Amino acid sequence: MNPFSQLGIRHDVVNAITALGFEKPTPIQEQAIPALLTGSSDFVGLAQTGTGKTAAFGLPLLELLDFSQNSPQALVLCPTRELCLQIANDLKNFSKNISNVHVVAVYGGASISDQLRQIRRGVQIVVATPGRMLDIIGRKAIDFSGVRYVVLDEADEMLNMGFQEDINDILSTTPEEKKTWLFSATMPAEVRRIAKNYMTDPFELTVGTKNTGNANIDHEYYVVRPRDKYAAFKRIVDFNPEIFGIVFCRTKIETQEIAEALIKDGYNADSLHGDLSQQQRDKVMKRYRERSLQLLIATDVAARGIDVNDVTHVINFSLPDEIENYTHRSGRTARAGKTGVSISLVTAKELGKIRQIERVIGKQFVKAEIPNGFDVCEKQLFALVHKVKAVDVNDEQIGQYLPRIMDEFSEFSKEDIIKHFASLEFNRFLDYYKNAPDLNVSASDARGEKGAKGDRFDRTGYKSDFTRLFINLGSVDDFTRGDILGYICNTAQISGKNIGKIDLKGVYTFFEVENAVVDKVTSGFQQADFNGRSVRVELAGDRDGGSSRGGSSNRGNRSSRSGGRGGRERERDSGGGFRDFSGKRRERKGERKKW
């Protein structure tokens, strides 16, 4: 028997949701559905978005309402237009095999007359954002005297957005004896108060730990210098060729700037913020949903309630002002049991905020290293190779051109052809990353940066007492980091203390040595051989543009090519380009700062 049938959901609905791919109930559905089906108690569910809560309240509603009556019996209030449409759509899908179910979505920014017309035609379930709902109530265009269930979805977000009074007003038009079901990702005092004011002895349910982010989300942070933030961000994006992400900024201006810079740099990105008209926002969201956009750059407010499946990464280009918002942001990924990554780009000064978020979400962040140029190129190259392997070949179509294509390549060996195809896309990355510097902030840098006012760095943007070297030995030679440390110390006759970070790769390793012993190391390896193979040690700058001694600036080279993705980097030195967004501007005036 289908597990949803066991929970008490009728056959027609089970069939519809099975077609949607719901094979078994999510934890919140498993626990909430039987409780809500009784129809006799209020309910408080503490659950993140993406846990399946729409079906958790939607399926019981479909069992409890009387669809032979064409009058409003259930009202679902939610914070945003996107969520409103999503819920209404879900309810329509769930009920597609039941006759005479009428669901109306009521939200701002769209024609009110259409919505009024739909209401007049008869509706049992109204899904609404508070502002427009109140407008319609004000016009006396709806009768809520027969409402038996009110759902407050994403209650914390509705309160965050200042809908408290609207909600009070709307609820006052519904009957006393109705049941109220409240869902919230977090339980701040304001939401508690709503639960207390509007509910009697509610059935309470917590999925996961209170205030805890979705367990399927990995939280990572990268420590960067403020002026390297954009370059670091691009590198992370380039290192994830299949990324489908939402990038959060703190202000509309920042959102716009980042999106524009990305577009100029050839990325598939656009921005979503409050200064756009509803129509513009719809257009952006449509493109994102359809995956014509790979990166959506958004403010917290604009992105509230966005429900797009399969978002692979949430990137906090800037941390949110309020810790609670971190949960909302990261909840946009890892939906419906999928996994996702929430990445934060922070300066050394902001490390304390990461620790605070960890305490709130009850999960530890992993400190990640910004990939170097070589790694990005490798990743991109193999993404390309896999794409070439997986592409659908239309034999019929291509067949007619094949003789000519073969002719064109007649002089090429198989290897030549492969090299040429791979280079076609890949040269841009090679070119861009050939001299890319290490963007990670080392612990010593971080300490220095903390005290440093105005973030002064040398011309290369790199401040270090260490030099990064390359050695052509790595894990495939059975080295661990400890082994290679010992091997380098022995061969070059230096102490372990002279060595900094070791970055062990497959066939090579990058390692830092104190500037004072660089010559000793390079000369120490001059005659070295390992299992009959000659060992090469070189300045990493020649390989990945790491901090080579003397620090010649590579920036000029980088802006020499433009156009394609990875082509041109934005100027971001102190005078122009990006600002340091550290807490000076607020998107919403008078906002509380919770750090």
Please list the residues that pair with 44 across neighbouring strands.
182, 204
User: Looking at beta carbons only, is 12 or 260 nearer to ligand AMP?
Assistant: 12
User: Looking at beta carbons only, is 154 or 449 nearer to ligand AMP?
Assistant: 154
Give least dist CB 94 to ligand AMP, A.
10
What residues contact residue 385 under an 8 Å CB cut-off, 6+ apart?
Answer: 422
Q: Binding mask 250-289 vs ligand AMP (x if CB under 6 A, - otherwise)? A: ----------------------------------------
Give least dist CB 574 to ligand AMP, A.
44
Q: Distance between CA 379 and CA 235 in Å, rounded?
A: 11
Give least dist CB 92 to ligand AMP, A.
13
User: Looking at beta carbons only, is 50 or 226 nearer to ligand AMP?
Assistant: 50
Give least dist CB 307 to ligand AMP, A.
5
Q: Distance between CA 105 and CA 178 in Å, rounded?
A: 21
Give least dist CB 88 to ligand AMP, A.
12
Give least dist CB 83 to ligand AMP, A.
8
Give least dist CB 185 to ligand AMP, A.
10
What residues contact residue 212 under an 8 Å CB cut-off, 6+ apart?
Answer: 361, 362, 363
Q: Binding mask 291-310 vs ligand AMP (x if CB under 6 A, - otherwise)? A: ----------------x-x-
User: Looking at beta carbons only, is 29 or 255 nearer to ligand AMP?
Assistant: 29
Give least dist CB 208 to ligand AMP, A.
13
- Do the Cβ atoms of 28 and 184 come closer than 8 Å? no
User: Looking at beta carbons only, is 22 or 508 nearer to ligand AMP?
Assistant: 22
User: Looking at beta carbons only, is 26 or 160 nearer to ligand AMP?
Assistant: 26
User: Looking at beta carbons only, is 2 or 280 nearer to ligand AMP?
Assistant: 2
Give least dist CB 98 to ligand AMP, A.
18
Q: Distance between CA 439 and CA 224 in Å, rounded?
A: 7
- Among 22, 222, 233, 525, the residue binding ligand AMP under the rule CB under 6 A is 22
Q: Helices (DSSP H) in 362-401: which residue ranges?
A: 373-390, 395-399
Q: Which of residues 221-240 bind ligand AMP (CB under 6 A)?
A: none
Q: Work out the end-to-end distance of the chain between its first and last CA atoms, rounded to an integer number of angstroms.
A: 50
Q: Distance between CA 302 and CA 278 in Å, rounded?
A: 11
Q: Count how many residues are written for the chain.
A: 595
204 by DSSP, 3-state: which? strand
Give least dist CB 123 to ligand AMP, A.
21
User: Looking at beta carbons only, is 87 or 269 nearer to ligand AMP?
Assistant: 87
367 by DSSP, 3-state: which? strand
For every residue of 413-464, DSSP letters joined together read -HHHHHHHHHHHHHHHHHHHHTTPPP-PPPHHHHHHHHH-TT----TTS---
Give least dist CB 51 to ligand AMP, A.
5
Based on the shown chain and the rule CB under 6 A, indicate whether residue 26 belongs to the binding site for ligand AMP: yes
Give least dist CB 245 to ligand AMP, A.
18
- Do the Cβ atoms of 43 and 35 come closer than 8 Å? yes
Q: Which of residues 321-380 bind ligand AMP (CB under 6 A)?
A: 335-336
Q: Which of residues 31-70 bind ligand AMP (CB under 6 A)?
A: 49-55
Please list the residues that pair with 538 across neighbouring strands.
470
Closest Cα partner for 296 from 347, 348, 258? 258
State both tokens at 593.
């700062």
- Do the Cβ atoms of 426 and 378 come closer than 8 Å? no
User: Looking at beta carbons only, is 29 or 212 nearer to ligand AMP?
Assistant: 29
Q: Which amino acid is at 558?
A: R
Give least dist CB 3 to ligand AMP, A.
9
- Among 25, 45, 371, 524, the residue binding ligand AMP under the rule CB under 6 A is 25
User: Looking at beta carbons only, is 337 or 506 nearer to ligand AMP?
Assistant: 337
User: Looking at beta carbons only, is 45 or 566 nearer to ligand AMP?
Assistant: 45
User: Looking at beta carbons only, is 5 or 495 nearer to ligand AMP?
Assistant: 5
Angle of CA points 190, 196, 197, to nearest 5°: 90
Give least dist CB 455 to ligand AMP, A.
41
State both tokens at 447.
């300490």
Torsion region of 248: left, alpha or beta (phi above 0 gives left; psi -120 to 50 gives alpha): beta
User: Looking at beta carbons only, is 25 or 373 nearer to ligand AMP?
Assistant: 25
State both tokens at 523.
């000369």
Q: Distance between CA 230 and CA 265 in Å, rounded?
A: 11
**Site size for ligand AMP, by CB under 6 A?**
16
Q: Distance between CA 583 and CA 593 in Å, rounded?
A: 9
User: Looking at beta carbons only, is 51 or 115 nearer to ligand AMP?
Assistant: 51
- Do the Cβ atoms of 348 and 445 come closer than 8 Å? yes
- Do the Cβ atoms of 77 and 158 come closer than 8 Å? yes
- Do the Cβ atoms of 524 and 493 come closer than 8 Å? yes
Contacting range for ligand AMP; rule: CB under 6 A; set: 18-26, 106-114, 324-332, 462-470: 18-26
Contact set with ligand AMP (CB under 6 A): 21-22, 25-26, 29, 49-55, 307, 309, 335-336
